[in-house]
């Protein structure tokens, strides 16, 4: 009860990963954006998301990660609503597992940090 609120009212720690947050952001922003803004939303989300996976085994190449994000994950409809080549599907599954929790955003030991992300976005 460090916030002073009862346990039932205290804010729960976010469990979304950065990748999940990027997908939710896209679904929230893209339908209401002017057509030309879609490219900017995709590119900025792509840049930020590329900086947040950990270095777990099986990491796809930089180019493959970027292609999977740009062409399959960060476009509407999202990756859960369409078929993609196996290599892209496997790349996105790796990214889902390797993406850090959003709560790690400010941890310089984990990710690029808020200053880097602000420049990328």
Could you report the per-residue pLDDT of 47-94, keeping only the tens digit for each?
Answer: 888 887 888 899 999 999 999 999 999 888 887 888 889 999 999 999
Q: Let me know if residue 47 belongs to a domain.
A: yes
Report DSSP letters for 55-90, one per residue. --TTPPPHHHHHHHIIIIISSSS-GGGS---HHHHH
Q: Let me know if residue 61 belongs to a domain.
A: yes
Q: Let me know if residue 11 belongs to a domain.
A: no
Q: Measuring CA to CA, how many Å separate 34 from each of 30, 39, 46?
A: 8, 10, 19
Q: Let me know if residue 100 belongs to a domain.
A: yes
Q: Domain span at residue 85?
A: 18-120
Residues 104-114: pLDDT tens digits?
766 655 555 44
Q: Let me know if residue 6 belongs to a domain.
A: no
Are the C-beta atoms of 120 and 44 separated by less than 8 Å? yes
Tell me the pTM. 0.70
Residue 101 three-state SS: strand
Residues 5-16: pLDDT tens digits?
677 666 655 578
When divided into structural domains, the chain yields a total of 1
């Amino acid at each position: 009860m460090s916030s002073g609120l009862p346990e039932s009212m205290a804010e729960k720690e976010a469990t979304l990963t950065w990748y999940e947050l990027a997908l939710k952001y896209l679904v929230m922003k893209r339908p209401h954006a002017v057509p030309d803004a879609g490219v900017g939303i995709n590119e900025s989300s792509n840049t930020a998301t590329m900086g947040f996976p950990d270095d777990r085994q099986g990491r796809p190449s930089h180019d493959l990660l970027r292609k999977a994000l740009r062409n399959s994950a960060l476009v509407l409809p999202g990756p859960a609503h369409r078929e993609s080549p196996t290599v892209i599907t496997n790349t996105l599954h790796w990214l889902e597992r390797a993406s850090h929790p959003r709560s790690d955003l400010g941890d310089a030991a984990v990710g690029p940090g808020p200053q880097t992300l602000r420049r990328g976005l």
